[in-house]
Amino acid sequence: MTSKERVIAVLNQEMPDKVPWGEWAIDFDTVGRIIGRDTYYRAKAKSQIALWEGRRDEVVQSWKEDGIEFFRKMECFDIINISAMASSVAPPKDYSYETPKKIDDNTWEFKDGSVVKYSDITADITKVYDPKVGTKSYTPADFDKEPEPAGIDDSCFEVVDAFIEEFAADRFLMGPSGSEVGMHIIDGSFDEGGGGFEHGLMLYIDNPDTVKAAIRYEVAKSRILDRQFIRKGQDAVGWGQDFSSTQGPFISPAMFREFVLPGIKARVENIHEAHGIPVMKHACGNNKLLLDMFIEAGYDAYQSIQKSAGMDVMDIKNNYGESILPWGGIPVENLESGSTDDVKNDVVHAMETYKPGGRYIFGSTHSIAVGTIYDNFMTMLDQFEKHRTY
């Protein structure tokens, strides 16, 4: 079987020749170690700073060349996610970024007063202050309109299309789409400038009719965007929004059902019916109280089944495996701070426990995240290859 055939088999509840392996993302430090040089591929902060400095073509060329070289070297990866941040959809070729004012080594401020900060833990840049959040009041009438077709410059898909050309024949490619929607609308994103997760959550209580209207509008807009974002040759879409912390959902299951589930169902149905491809869902945290709704939503696979949040691959496989494909099993915490013996034991456990009977995709409980110990990654690869064959 090719990698593509292997993944399609498990999605179709058929037995593959080997357990397929996929990751939501592989960050720049592991990629650089494998290809033998520094890279912008999945280098989130480094890429962002370079874009601020006007080096768009340099960044995009690295995403393209280095990513392709990495996955050619890593033939063990059956799934390639070409929808992951800082390695996928690029800014348009002639886009001009505002260069923010540097406040200190880790903090920048834009002209509108918004502030972003670098995180040593994730090697990412995150907005930490937006003065516009909560400054405008919305009503359902603001979203009582038909979305207009968006003219997305085709240069935005330079990397995605290069990966499709290179790998479509033999790898399973998980690619971009219009917005996932989900809980997206409540994170303040329909406040001008975005941001404000807590403010967005409060809108569910303070302004519920407007939240529902905004979600309906976003679903319609995303359906239009799908036509351009879903590229010919990709095998699935990948959605990566979290709904829960390690303690449980951000909102009650009842509110999730009332507000969030209708939008998710509509989006999944459109992907299935209009484009004929599966939806692969990445969701960290403790999602136990939402799993029935994951099934109702129609997700085809569930990735990032976080053991440290109380989630278990085998529980998902036993109780939901006929409806949703479990994907994960190797704790990211051990990849980042455990020993090689810890990782070896994790892989052996996954192969002994989750592999039997098929219907399983191997991978980490999140991603090959920045800070992953190289020897741990190589142990994971070595042990997987020894045990993956059925």
- Digit-coded pLDDT (tens) for 62-107: 999 999 999 999 999 999 999 999 999 999 998 888 999 999 999 9
Instruction: Give the Cα separation of 231 and 212 in Å (integer).
Output: 29
Provide the 10 A C-beta neighbour count for residue 68: 19
Secondary structure class of 161 (helix, strand, coil): helix
Q: Note down the domain range covering 203.
A: 3-387
| Tokens standing for residue 38 | 């520094």
Residue 199, pLDDT above cutoff 50: yes
Determine what percent of the chain is predicted with pLDDT higher than 70: 97
Q: Give the model's pLDDT for residue 188.
A: 53
Read off the amino acid at residue 98: E
Q: Are β-strands 101-104 and 107-109 bridged in parallel, bridged antiparallel, or unpaired?
A: antiparallel
**10 pLDDT band (50/70/90 cuts)?**
very high
Which bin fits 129, alpha (ψ -120 to 50), beta or left (φ > 0)?
A: beta
pLDDT of residue 202: 83
pLDDT reading at 189 higher than 60: no
Instruction: Kindly report, residue by residue over 260-296, the tens digit of the pLDDT.
Output: 999 999 999 999 999 999 999 999 999 999 999 999 9
pTM: 0.95
Question: What is the C-alpha to C-alpha distance for residues 212 and 204, in angstroms, rounded to an integer?
Answer: 9
The yes-or-no verdict on residue 149 having pLDDT over 80 is no
CATH number at residue 27: 3.20.20.210
Number of domains in the chain: 1
pLDDT over 90, % of the chain: 85
Question: DSSP for 48-102?
Answer: HHHHHTT-HHHHHHHHHHHHHHHHHH-TT--EEETTSTTSSSPPPTT-----PEE
- Could you give the CA distance from residue 339 to residue 21 in angstroms, rounded to a whole number? 21
Radius of gyration of the chain (CA): 21
140 has a pLDDT exceeding 50: yes
Lowest-pLDDT range of 42-56, 87-101, 133-147, 316-330: 133-147
Nearest to 346 by CA among 356, 332, 325: 332
Instruction: Say what the pLDDT of residue 194 is.
Output: 42
Residue with tokens 């392709």: 68
Query: For residue 256, what pLDDT is reported?
Result: 97
Q: What is the DSSP letter of 149?
A: P
- Is 215 a residue whose pLDDT tops 90? yes
pLDDT reading at 193 higher than 50: no
pLDDT at site 185 = 59
Specify the pLDDT at position 285: 96
12-16: long-range pairs with CB below 8 Å, 24+:
13/322, 13/358, 13/359, 14/358, 15/358, 15/390, 16/358, 16/390
| 3-class DSSP assignment, residue 249 | strand
Q: How is the beta sheet containing 79-81 ordered, strand by strand?
A: 79-81, 172-175, 236-239, 279-282, 301-303, 325-330, 361-364
CA distance 108 to 102: 4
Q: What is the mean pLDDT of the chain?
A: 93
Percent helix, strand and coil across the chain, each to the nearest 5: 45, 15, 40
How far is CA 75 from each of CA 3, 170, 172, 175, rounded to the nearest angstrom?
9, 10, 12, 19
The secondary structure of residue 146, as a DSSP letter, is P
Provide the pLDDT for residue 9.
98
pLDDT at 135: 78
Cα 389–Cα 4–Cα 345 angle in degrees, nearest 5: 35
In the predicted model, is pLDDT for residue 197 greater than 60? yes
Sign of the torsion angle spanned by Cα atoms 137, 206, 185, 265 = negative
Confidence check: pLDDT of 206 > 70: yes
* pLDDT tens for each residue of 173-186: 999 999 999 885 54
pLDDT band at 195 (very low <50, low <70, confident <90, very high): low
pLDDT score, position 141: 93
